[in-house]
Structure 1
Amino acid sequence: MASASTTTVATTTTECLASANDILAAHAALIARVKSSQAARRRHLQSLPSPPHELVRLPLIPTPSQSRSPSPPSTPDLPPQKPREIRPDLPPAKRARLARYRNYVPEEETIRNDYSQRYVDGGEWPQNWVIGAEPERRFEEYPKQQRLLTLKKASVNEHSLPSSYLPYSSFSSLTTPSPAKFDVILIDPPFSSSFTWDNLQELPIPALAADPSFVFLWVGSGAGEGLERGRETLAKWGYRRAEDIVWVKTNNKSNKGPGTDPPTTSLLTRTKQHCLMGIRGTVRRSTDSWFVHCNVDTDVIIWEGDPSDPTLKPPEMYTLIENFCLGIRRLEIFGHARASLRRGWVTVLTEGEEEKMEPEADGGVKQWDREAWETRLKEMGSGGKYVVPMTPGESPCGTGASFC
C-alpha cells in the first residue's frame, strides 16, 4: 500500500511540474511576441515622414539669468545644467522635442496621439479631430441612410406650414380663448437674474402640449443645477425624461491658444451643453410609427457654435426633432429672430428679438395668425392626425415604411 501511495504522489508532482513548465513556456512566447511587436512599431515610427526641417532650426526662447541676491545665498549655487547632446540619429521632430523638453526620452515615445498635451500646448480640444462630424458628411459611407434622410427632408418640407413668430409679450394668445396644441415644444430658457427656474416652471406648457407630445429643454453644461432642475421641471409639466441630447462644442475657429479659457468654478473645462427630452403620453416604437421614427439620428451633436451669439444652439437640433417626431405642430419658445425662424415652426421670440424682425412687406416672416394656422392644419391633416404622412413599403433602413 505504501508503494502505491508513493507512486501516486510522484505522478501528481510530475503533472504539476509539467503544467508549470507549459505555463512558463507560454509566458516566454508571449514576452517574445510583445518584444517583436514593440520592435516593429519602433521601426514603423522611424520610417514615418518627418516634418519640415525648419522646425529644428527654430531658435529657442532664451532663459533670463537669475538676479544675484545682495545677501549670501542660504544654499550653494547649483552648477549650470549641461546642454542636451545632439542626436543625429533621431528624426527632426524628435530632435526638436529633445531640445525643448528636458525630461523627454525619445526611446519611451510610442505611437499615440497625446491630445491632452496638445490641448495644454495649443488649446485645441480633442473633439476638433472627430472626422465626419458635419451633418452633410456624416453618412458618406452609408448610402441607404443618406437616401432615407434626403427623402425625409423633402417630405418634412412638403408637409409643413410657413414659419411664423410671436413676440413674447403676445405669448398668452397661444392659450386664449383655448390653448393651441403642439406635438413638439423646444425651449431654450434665457436664464438671468430676472428669469429663473421658478419662472420657467410657470409657463403654460401642459396646456399647450398635445397627447402624446415631446418637449426638448436646454439645461446648460451640467456645471450647476441645470440637470436636476430640468428633470424637476419636466415632471411638473407632466413629462417623463426619456433622452439626454448632448451638444459637444469645438474650438477650431475660436481657439486663441493656451490659458485663454474663461474663468470658471468647475473642475474641468466645459465643452458641452445638455438638452433633456421628455415624453407626455404613451409612445411605443413598435406601435406608434405614425408619430415617431426612431434611430434616425444620434444623441450627440458636434458644432463650433456661433461666435457672434454664444447663446445660439446647434441648427441641427431642428433637423433631429423633425426626423424623430412626425408631428407637424412644432413650437419653439425663446427663439432668435436671426437664427430660429424655420418652416414648419411657430417661434415665440425672446424679449427684444421682435425688434430685429424684417417688415412683412419686404418678404419677412409673418406674425402667427391662429385662425390661418388652424385652417392650414385641417387641410394637411389626415384622419385627424397632423403628421408627416408615410407610405407603406420597405424603407432604406428596414423599418417597414418609407417616406413619400
Structure 2
Amino acid sequence: MQEKGVINTNQFVWMLFTIITSFTAVEIPALLIVQAGRDAWLAVIGGWVLDILLAIVYAYMGLRFPGQNFVQYSIAILGKHAGRMVGFVFPIFFLVACMFLMRGFSQLVSTFFFPAASLMAILFPALFVAAYAARQGIEVIGRVAEILGPSYLLSIIVIGLLVSPFVEFERLTPQFDEGVYPFLIGSPFILSFYGLCIMMAMFIPHCNRPQNGFLAKFIAVSLGAFFVAVIVILAVAIFGYEQAANIRSPGLELTRMISYGNYLDRLEIIWMLLVTGAGIIVSANLLWAFSLGMAQIVGLSTYKPLVYPAALLVGVLAITSFKSTMEQLRFAEYTFPIFGLFVEGGVEIFLFIAALVLKKRGHPPKMRRMCFHGKNQLS
C-alpha cells in the first residue's frame, strides 16, 4: 500500500522545518536552559551536529531501499515477522509525539489566552482539523507547510529585531562555567526533538527527487537550529538564565515584551496563531505517518480509515496521560528524550547495521512493481 502523493524538495524542507520548530519553539527552550544554563545555545549547535550525522544514515537508507520508508525496509531487512515488530516502533513513536505536541499547544493556548475554556474544547477541534488534513494526503500537507514555514521563520527574525534593545550579551558569559557537563547533557536533549525529523524517511519515497533527502534535512535542521538558537540566546540575554529557566514559554514572553506606542502591541496573539497553525499541520504529518505506517504493517489497501480513530486516540491520551503540568514537564524533560533517542538513533542504526551485515538492498520502484505484479501481490 502506497501513498500516491508527490512532494518537491522545497515542500520537503518546510515540512521538516515546521516539525522541528513546533516542538522546540514553545516549552523546550526553557527546559534546555534548565539542562545547560548559559551553555544552552552551544547545546543547540551540538544537537545540530549530531542530527546532521544521523541524517546521513536516514538519507543512505532511503537510497539503499528506493521507494520504501523505514516501516517497509524494516520488513525487507528483518523478514516478515521480526520486521513488523521493529517497524511497529516508528508509528507508535509518531502517535506519542502527536499526543505530546497537541497537549502542549492546547494547554499553552488555554493558559495564556482562554483560561476559562476547558482543555478538550481547544484540543479536539485542533485534532479534527489535523486529521482532515492528514486524510487529504502528503501533497496538501506539503503545500500548507510551504506557506507556514517561511512565515514562521520570518516571525522569529522580526521578534529578534524588535526586542534587540533589551539584549545584554554579557549575560551569556562565561561559557563552560560549570564544565562541559551541561553541554554534554543539553546536546542529546535537544537532539531528541531535532530527531523528530526522522520523518524524512517517510518523505523520501514521495519526493520527486529522493536523492535530495539529505540536502532537505540539512537545510531544514539548520534553519530549525537557527530558530531555536535565537529564542535561547534572546531569552538568556534578556531575562538571565536563572529567570529564563523558570519561564514556561520564552518565545511567547519575548513577543509580549514588544510594545512601540500605539503601533505595535499584543504581537503575541499573531505569533501564537503562527505557532498553532504550524502545530496543527505537524500533527497532521504525524497522524499521516502513523496511519500510513500502521496500514503497511497490517496490510491495508489505504491508510485513510485509520486517521480519525488515531486522532481520537491522541485526544484521549493527551487528556488522560498527565495528572498535572509538573508530570507533563517531567515527561518532556526525561521520558520523551530517552524514548526519542532510542527510536531516532538506536532503532535506525540497528537497521542500518543489519542491512549491511545481511547485505539487504531494495529494488527501484518500477522493478519492484513489475516483480510483485507477476506474483499478484501488493508491495
Higher normalized strand content (fraction of residues): 1
Flag the structure with larger Rg. 1
**Structure with the higher helix share, 1 or 2:** 2
Bigger relative contact order, structure 1 or 2, given CA contacts below 8 A and separation 6+?
Answer: 2
